[in-house]
Amino acid sequence: MVMRPCQYPIATLLPHRPPMVLLDKVTGYDDNSLIAEVTITQASLFLGPQGVPGHVGIEYMAQACGAYAGAQALDSGDSVKIGLLLGTRDYRVMVPYFRRGDRLLIAVAMVFRDEPVAAFACSITIGGKIAAEAQLKVYQAGDDWLRLGHGGK
């Protein structure tokens, strides 16, 4: 399937507020996958003297999974819902830091879905080289989550 360009700004796809929206944009998505990007700049959250620590990549991946769910929801006329990272068994990061000027492409592809839980194969590439990989398990909260007082205004 050919990915279609994303018409939605990243802030509309995630239920986060700045500064916790870490991705710059979604470059494309389809029914099962999404590609997002972020460029590491002086303004990047978590930036230290050597760059953004490699372990932050798991949050980039989680936000890309959330952006996928947000795009699917908006496409079908639904609202964006809160998602939670349940975890991963194997986050492999090949770089200690994402350095200033690095353009990260974050790819996520659904492997399994049993509402409200899903698993995504995720990768981060920099200049065509794999910088991190993981399979994330995520949970998408339904309206009952909000009724129980979680995620209120």
- Per-residue model confidence as pLDDT tens digits over 28-64: 999 999 999 999 999 999 999 999 999 999 999 999 9
Please give the pLDDT value at position 20.
95
Please give the pLDDT value at position 144.
53
Selection from 105, 92, 91 nearest residue 40 by Cα: 105
Architecture per CATH, 10-146: Roll (3.10)
What is the rounded distance in angstroms from the CA atom of residue 153 to the CA atom of residue 151?
A: 7
In the chain, which residue ranges form alpha helices assigned H by DSSP? 10-13, 57-75, 143-147
What residues in the chain have per-residue pLDDT under 50?
145-153
Please give the pLDDT value at position 137.
97
Please give the pLDDT value at position 120.
97
What is the rounded distance in angstroms from the CA atom of residue 123 to the CA atom of residue 107?
A: 5
The pTM assigned to this predicted structure is 0.92
Tokens of 51: 């760059």
Cα 149 to chain centroid, rounded: 25
Please give the pLDDT value at position 89.
83
For the chain, what are the domain ranges? 10-146
Q: Are residues 39 and 10 in contact, defined by beta-carbon separation less than 8 angstroms?
A: no
Please give the pLDDT value at position 10.
97
Q: Are residues 8 and 24 in contact, defined by beta-carbon separation less than 8 angstroms?
A: no
What is the rounded distance in angstroms from the CA atom of residue 113 to the CA atom of residue 117?
A: 6
Start-to-end Cα distance in the chain = 38
**Residue 153: exposed, middle, or buried by beta-carbon count in 10 A (0-12, 13-18, 19+)?**
exposed
